[in-house]
Chains A and B, each alone.
Chain A
């Protein structure tokens, strides 16, 4: 139908290897970016930005991070929440010591600390695989949670044990802290997420990403092709943790405003893992779809009864939401165990061959 490559001739390998070789995909992305950068900040209400778009983008970024490690490099991790925490606390300490440096620099730098911690806890992956590796990353989760609680230096020895985000400016506009406007925070997050997703897509389609996927699919063959397992696995841990760390810093500085150890507990690790599984392992689009499903859908469902003027108890709405979300998760995983990204893929393949049912 309208979605097919007929008539779009590639005359060079460069054109064939483009990120979006199909014109329809390019238009699609252009529409999405236009909506995100122009329509949403212009028409979106404060509630829409703060409760839906900002957390959605932050979770998407964390899901991209975990997907690089689990979906592309095949190393299962349950320490995502803690790695996000490392980024958040690192950013807090950085801005405490260097309050004059631009906050963007701090947010991007805080990922480096998270990457270093990720590499240390990634070391067991050289010997341990699959579920057993997940257990060792669980150790990272609990150890780091302990650090966030017990090392008082991390939260500047304040009595609450929480980190409070100061107001920080960027070109005269407050982008973090209580005084920052939702639109300013939204733009900052959107820019970081868009650029980092593009970078992830570039790395994944090049030499380094291919090495990760080789290790994931057949580690013995990968080694015989000259991939060093040590280097490939640790670089995946570093890259992934960097993304999680930046997501954690953004989460505290541009969304929550303050955070303590509970903000980075094991539930967050599971939440991000669910986003990756439901969205689709090994797909960047899947990260966004998964984050939308797990985070946005409950928020929307909770808002529906009051919008329609139905008189239902808030607790009942909460329970119904949980039941429906649970049922939907089961339904989608039965229909397509490989997640939304695969459903999307199948839909596109069907469009290409329409009106004939056979696949290529």
Chain B
């Protein structure tokens, strides 16, 4: 097993220690430890059923591990609800697009600003003064994201009608609107053609370098993973089999065995 390199100049944003998650008798994740450093792009890879999505669900509070500790920004995190994880700065996208189908692109991305908007019922009812100012200030921010992702032409369209590639992009925009410190992307390029993958890769790189957002992504396209990621963690059957830079992971015998099989 490769050892996680100690990178001195970057602070640890999130670290998981000996996390174990099981559903009844099935162990989805067993005794996994790894960390995510501030500002890096961290990939989580592994064959199907390796526990990658479960890992994301643990990080954003959707599943609660039976064992192990999660430390977020230097503080040990207790059992938390997803909306608390969201409030603490963790955003995510989903493997199967989980947009709000009945709403427009604009409203979907505005939905990502939910936590930034505070005005109470009274002002909302009148829709004047503070509520209106808040709405417009957030709209301005959302328009910047729409510019960034080049989706201005579909601003007012209901997302249900959009092609798949654009839906994925809107979902990224919605997560960006939360201005998260850690962005979890669950297979952002699944089902895309080459051009769409290249576009999405560019958005992820730009997002990371322009806004300094830390990104953890699950992806099956190894070319994309090796090009984008600073460090890669490899899971198989709920266990960590490798962790390190793309080059280190690629040369690991265990990873090759997991992906290609072992001769008997």
Contact = CB atoms under 8 A, between A and B. Distances in A.
A217 B159 CA distance: 11
A339 B67 CA distance: 51
A214 interface: yes
Contacts of A207: 114, 117, 119, 124, 131, 134-135
17 contacts: A14-B136, A199-B125, A207-B117, A207-B134, A207-B135, A208-B124, A213-B103, A217-B103, A218-B99, A220-B62, A221-B94, A224-B83, A225-B178, A226-B86, A226-B114, A227-B83, A360-B157
B107 interface: yes
Given A217-B102, A221-B94, A206 B124 contact: yes
Interface of B: 60, 62, 81-83, 85-87, 91-92, 94, 98-103, 107, 110-112, 114-115, 117, 119, 121, 124-127, 131-132, 134-136, 139-140, 143, 157, 174, 178
Given A13-B140, A210-B114, A214-B114, A225 B86 contact: yes
Q: From B101, B111, B157, name the one whose CB has the most chain A CB atoms within 10 angstroms.
A: B111
B60 A224 contact: yes
Contacts of A228: 83
Contacts of B83: 223-224, 226-228
Which DSSP category, helix, strand, loop or mixed, fits chain B's interface?
helix
Contact of A210 (B82, B85, B107): B107
B135 A206 contact: yes
A203 B121 contact: yes
Contacts of B131: 206-207
A19 B127 CA distance: 10
Given A199-B125, A225-B178, A226-B114, A217 B135 contact: no
Given A217-B100, A228-B83, A13 B124 contact: no
Contact of B100 (A12, A202, A221): A221
Q: How large is the interface on A (under 10, 10 to 19, 20 to 34, 35 or more residues)?
A: 20 to 34
B99 A221 contact: yes
A216 interface: yes
Contacts of A227: 83, 114
B115 A202 contact: no
Given A203-B121, A207-B117, 7 more contacts: A206-B135, A207-B119, A208-B124, A217-B101, A218-B101, A223-B86, A224-B60
B100 A214 contact: yes
A55 interface: no
B139 A17 contact: yes
List the 10 closest A-B pairs by CB distance, nearest first: A217-B100, A202-B127, A226-B115, A226-B86, A221-B98, A207-B117, A206-B124, A223-B82, A13-B139, A199-B125
Interface in A50-66: none
Contact of A216 (B102, B119, B178): B102
Given A223-B83, A225-B114, A225-B115, A218 B124 contact: no
B119 A220 contact: no
Contacts of A12: 136
B127 A206 contact: yes
Contact of A218 (B60, B98, B114, B119): B98
A211 interface: yes
A129 interface: no
A254 to B, nearest CB: 23
B159 to A, nearest CB: 9
Nearest to A199: B125
